[in-house]
A and B are shown apart, each in its own frame.
Chain A
Amino acid sequence: QSALTQPASVSGSPGQSITISCTGTSSDIGSNNLVSWYQQHPGKAPKLMIYEVSQWPSGVSNRFSGSKSGNTASLTISGLQAEDEADYYCSSYAGSSTYVIFGGGTKVTVL
């Protein structure tokens, strides 16, 4: 199975909104609502930002929101802040094969 497809980079100015897409197939993203998103700052472990497409873990800002349509999931960051500059990874459960697949990652730059 191939990795989920994400844009290599997305940028925006402080205060703006940006959206990161994550495209899979009918075997993973398209087959369930089990998409999660992770934020990773350089040299650090990833951090869970969204689970089950649009749910927030405790302590995560509601400036981060998730959605899904068909085989594509999206993460939107509203009110972009300097601290949001990081790599973002999507992930989906591939139930038919009973495993987890990640996207290739998107580098978010705050201009």
Chain B
Amino acid sequence: QLQLQESGPGLVKPSETLSLTCTVSGGSISNSSYYWGWIRQPPGKGLEWIGNVYYSGNSYYNPSLKSRVTISVDTSKNQFSLNLSSVAAADTAVYYCARHFRSGGWFVQQWGQGTLVTVSS
């Protein structure tokens, strides 16, 4: 059964770069049916789509975050990663990695358990 596991620092200082990695187990990240992405949820608030990446490296981002976001894939490690630069307190959230079905509007079939990242000095 496919599993997604987020990893990375739980505390990031303002103006620095938030970096998270999602390890995929039980399936190949090179499966052509899926995109691999990130979604976040500030405490007590709703979901926000950050972006996704295809195994080929093609990526797509939320226009509101595009200038600060990079999502990359490492097929040799079956992992994909999120970098969010110049973070501020508003970037404090639970970050989920997710498997998007390639067609059908990129609905999320599988979610990681989520990891809380706090931006604070």
> Are A and B co-members of a single complex?
yes
**Chain A interface residues (CB < 8 Å from chain B):** 1, 3, 32, 34-36, 38, 45-48, 51-52, 57, 89, 91-93, 97-105
Which listed residue, B47, B96, B105, B112, touches A92 by the CB 8 Å rule?
A: B105
CB distance from A38 to the nearest CB of B (A): 7
**Given known A57-B109, A97-B63, contact A51–B104 (CB-CB < 8 A):** yes
CA–CA, A45 and B39, complex, Å: 11
What is the number of contacts between chain A and chain B, taking CB atoms within 8 Å?
Answer: 68
| B111 with A52: CB separation less than 8 A | no
**Chain B interface residues (CB < 8 Å from chain A):** 46-49, 51, 60-64, 96, 100-101, 104-109, 111-114
**Given known A48-B109, A51-B107, contact A102–B63 (CB-CB < 8 A):** no
Most interface-central of A89, A93, A105 (chain B CB within 10 A): A93
Q: Which residue from chain B places its CB closest to the CB of A32 in the assembled complex?
A: B105
| A36 with B47: CB separation less than 8 A | no
CA–CA, A91 and B109, complex, Å: 13
| B96 with A35: CB separation less than 8 A | no
| A3 with B46: CB separation less than 8 A | yes
**Given known A45-B113, A46-B111, A99-B61, contact A104–B46 (CB-CB < 8 A):** yes
28 A–B contacts, CB within 8 A, in A order: A1-B63, A1-B64, A36-B104, A36-B107, A36-B108, A38-B47, A38-B108, A45-B96, A45-B111, A46-B47, A47-B111, A48-B109, A51-B101, A51-B107, A52-B104, A89-B47, A91-B47, A91-B105, A92-B105, A93-B105, A97-B63, A98-B60, A99-B61, A100-B49, A100-B100, A101-B49, A102-B49, A105-B46
